[in-house]
Each structure stands twice: as structure tokens, then as C-alpha cells.
Amino acid sequence: MMSQNEKANEYWLFDQKCKKLLQEKEIRFAGLINNMGRLVAGGFKEEIKPLEDDAERQKMYMELALMVSMRKEFDYSLGPVKYSASRREKAIMMSFPINNNVLLISAEPDSDIDRTANKIMKLIGLV
């Protein structure tokens, strides 16, 4: 189990990685969500107006943490999830499980999902 200092250091490192990801033109949001559904690092690009209000975003983070946790039940037979993505009308949502956390990415709706996912995994050191 991680100490509070180790968690704080991990969150700070991911905050830096999220800032780097936000420099990519297609990425609107990059944030690390902990296993309790709380945003612990990252956020939106400065010029981006969120599509949801604070309460809806919190609900989405909690649901994401639960879904990622539930997907782990099939790791033994299917292998671990590298990432999940959904193409929506107004944005592409991508999630990358990282230890007990999940990196949540929102990208522009016309982005190439696989190309963007591979770029993200390289930038944060998952490949």
C-alpha cells in the first residue's frame, strides 16, 4: 500500500503528464481519476468549456472508476485492458487503467481513436 507521500508524488507526476497531453491539439481533457472516482490530477485545456457541469462530471468519474474495476474481473481470461474508447457526437472518451487509477481523456470528435490512443500511451509511458 502506498503512503500519502507516495500518492502525492504519483499524482504530481501524473499532473505533469496530463499537462503534456493537453498540448496535443485533439485532446480537450486529461485527468487521473482514483479508485474512489475523484479527479486527483489534470483537467481541461484552458480554452475549453466543459460539456457537463461539476455534478455531472463527478458522477461520470465515479461511474468510470466502477467500470474499470469491474473490467478487471476478465483480465485472467482476456488479458488486461489497455484502453477503452467511445465515440460520441460531441467528444471521444478514452480511459487507460493505471494501477488503481484511470487516466481519462476527452478528445475532439473527429480524432482517430487508435492513433490518439497510441500517442497517449507513448507520452505517458505505457508502451
> Residue 14: pLDDT above 80?
yes
Describe the crossing of helices 113-124 and 4-21 by its angle, rounded to 10 degrees: 130
User: 113 Cβ partners below 8 Å, 6+ apart?
Assistant: 85, 87, 92, 94
C-alpha cell at 116: 490518439
Those residues whose C-beta lies under 8 Å from the C-beta of residue 94, and which sit 6 or more positions away, are: 83, 84, 85, 104, 105, 106, 107, 113, 116, 117, 120
Q: Which pLDDT belongs to residue 6?
A: 85
The domain total for the chain is: 1
What's the pTM value of the predicted model, to 2 decimals? 0.92
Average pLDDT over every residue of 101-117: 96
pLDDT of 89 reads 96
How much is the pLDDT for 124?
87
Query: Taking 90 as the threshold, does the pLDDT of residue 10 lie above it?
Result: no
Domain interval for residue 77: 4-124
Instruction: Give 52-72 pLDDT, tens digit per residue.
Output: 999 999 999 999 999 998 998
Report pLDDT digits (tens) over 83-93: 999 999 999 99
CATH code of residue 98? 3.30.450.30
Please write the tens of the pLDDT for every residue from 17-60: 999 999 999 999 999 999 999 999 999 999 888 889 999 999 99
Averaged pLDDT score across all residues of the chain:
92
Q: Which residue has the cell 499537462?
A: 19
